[in-house]
Structure 1
Amino acid sequence: MKKTLSISALVAAVVLAGCQAVNTTSGGAVGVDRKQYMFSMLSTDQVNQMYAESYQKTLSEASGKGVLDKNSAIAKRVQGVANRLIPQATSFRPDAAQWAWDVNVIDSDELNANCGPGGKIIFYSGLVEKLKLTDDEIAAVMGHEIAHALREHGREAMSKAYGVQMATQLGAAFGVGAGGLQLANTGVQYLMTLPNSRSNENEADLIGLELSARGGYNPNAALTLWQKMAQANESSPPEFMSTHPSSESRTQALQAAIPKVMPLYEQAKKG
């Protein structure tokens, strides 16, 4: 057991050595300042390019099916919210001003939305229609998704996946048996992967809250949004909820952060 644990520790140390500690954004009024570990050979530009190709494929497929929505009332509302939120991204990282931002709506019953690396935003009409989202609630969703892109959570997740892969290869090289290798992988996973998923969601909640407030959208809408999400989840879990768990702790964290961003909302309304 001691040998297996020491190998697990060695693997973790080697994996961490292949990463660099960064903070992709400034903390903002909400104070997000967690150090992130990024695989040194996986650059921001590489991830952005990889996602851009996947994004264009999604749009092409939607266009081919006649469901790429450019002119509906929902598409105009989503674009209008984006026009106000995107300029606020530079409050967290100035280089976002140079991103090739793009916003599209897909006509689908799917309850989903995302903003991929480099600022590629997709909303599915079902999310707005079925949950009867207000513009403030659309901003809460979009702010949350933009925050994932700003914090490069996708690149971070890929870095961790590479770490686990490296752990497997190193474990095999050290002659670790199947049981020992599983423990080594589990050790690295708990060290580098699992604790961060909740952290990433919390960061996206907080930064998204500030982005929407800076854009002039009522931050209290984040609370009603997640209430609607929870209600939708009772019948059939929406795709959006599969990676965005709603919980009492999430609501409490948002409630605690709202007073920090309310002055930004009040200032934006005056402007």
Structure 2
Amino acid sequence: MRWMKAVGACALMVTVAACSTSPTGRSQMLLLDEQQLSQMGAQAFDQYQQELPTVSGRQLEYVQCVTRNVVQALPEDQRNQNWQVKVFESEDANAFALPGGYVGVNTGLLDVATNQDQLATVIGHEIGHVLAHHANERASTESATQLGMSVVGTALGSQGVTGSDQLMAAMGMGAQYGILLPFSRSHESEADTIGLQLMADAGFDPRASVQLWQNMSAAGGGQPPEWMSTHPAHGNRIAGLEAGMNDAMARYEQAQARGLTPSCKAP
């Protein structure tokens, strides 16, 4: 069919335009310029600071200490960024890292991540998203998906296909649950893998990652079915961490042998 050929040509054009590989060796499509992403990261960080009050003192020093140690395990180009770290007053157990070198941690997370190793799990995970260019990849995939659906919609309309509106709606649901949500879950799993390696390379105990997600599970209550969620189920997340634990422990022992023994005092 003509519309299928159009979509195929569109997909080929986008794929050829921006092929890349993530730190774990996974193929990626990156359409945005990294400078653009850094500018967007700075804007988002400013917006977050406008919406929530920031916290100073021992909590900030603690989060900065953990982040500083994790950052030292990054490749040189990422390590040498002027990383900015803020702690926000919020009960949500959440954290984020943004392109351009920005890290934010909510005070609510410090109630769940009960020691420096557990906090390093989260910060390593969030920085893992940045290291793997997930913001770029997600935006690129959504743009390509919308472009493909637009091409199909135009082709169907020009051919007078009966029920084209219903077909486009079904395709929209298929894109959401068959492409975008699983794609986001793959990002979360990949960030877990990268974060586990980063924290271990920095000298934090990777075994704390399992306890952190057990804490998260206890604090978070029920979750939607995994196929409807942008994050893996806690059990699957823990299983993925345990699968990478032998490698992480080897990295941890090597870091310890090099004298990397972070000592960040929890407030």
TM-score (norm 2): 0.83
Instruction: Spell out the pairing of 1:1-271 with structure 2 (5 A cutoff).
Output: 3=1, 7-8=3-4, 10-11=6-7, 13-19=9-15, 20-25=18-23, 32-39=24-31, 42-62=32-52, 67-71=53-57, 73-90=58-75, 94-129=76-111, 131=112, 133-176=114-157, 177-185=164-172, 192-234=179-221, 243-270=230-257, 271=259
* Aligned-partner SS, 2:73: helix
* Aligned-partner SS, 2:108: helix
* Aligned-partner SS, 2:191: helix
Look up the equivalent residue of 1:209 and give its one-letter code. Answer: L
Look up the equivalent residue of 1:83 and give its one-letter code. Answer: R
Identity %: 32
* Aligned-partner SS, 2:25: coil
Gaps of 5+ in 1: 26-31
Superposed CA offset, 1:245-269 (max 9, x none): 4332222221121110212211222
Per the alignment, do residues 124 and 12 of structure 1 end up closer, same or farther by CA in structure 2, a change over 3 Å counting?
A: farther
* Aligned-partner SS, 1:168: helix
Q: Residue 12 of structure 1: CA displacement?
A: 5.1
Look up the equivalent residue of 2:118 and give its one-letter code. Answer: E
Q: Residue 193 of structure 1: CA displacement?
A: 2.7
Q: Distance in 2 between matches of 1:199 and 1:128?
A: 26
Q: Residue 143 of structure 1: CA displacement?
A: 0.5
Q: Residue 124 of structure 1: CA displacement?
A: 0.3
Q: Distance in 2 between matches of 1:9 and 1:181?
A: 17
Look up the equivalent residue of 2:126 and give its one-letter code. Answer: E
Look up the equivalent residue of 2:29 and give its one-letter code. Answer: Y
Per the alignment, do residues 170 and 113 of structure 1 end up closer, same or farther by CA in structure 2, a change over 3 Å counting?
A: same
Gaps of 5+ in 2: 158-163, 260-267
Look up the equivalent residue of 2:33 and give its one-letter code. Answer: S
TM-score (norm 1): 0.82
Q: Residue 190 of structure 1: CA displacement?
A: 6.3
- Alignment coverage as a number of residue pairs: 246
Alignment match, 2:264? none
Q: Residue 173 of structure 1: CA displacement?
A: 2.4
Contact persistence 1:230–1:246 (CA under 8 A): no
Look up the equivalent residue of 1:80 and give its one-letter code. Answer: C
Contact persistence 2:88–2:105 (CA under 8 A): yes
Per the alignment, do residues 142 and 126 of structure 1 end up closer, same or farther by CA in structure 2, a change over 3 Å counting?
A: same
Give the alignment's Cα RMSD to 1 decimal. 2.4
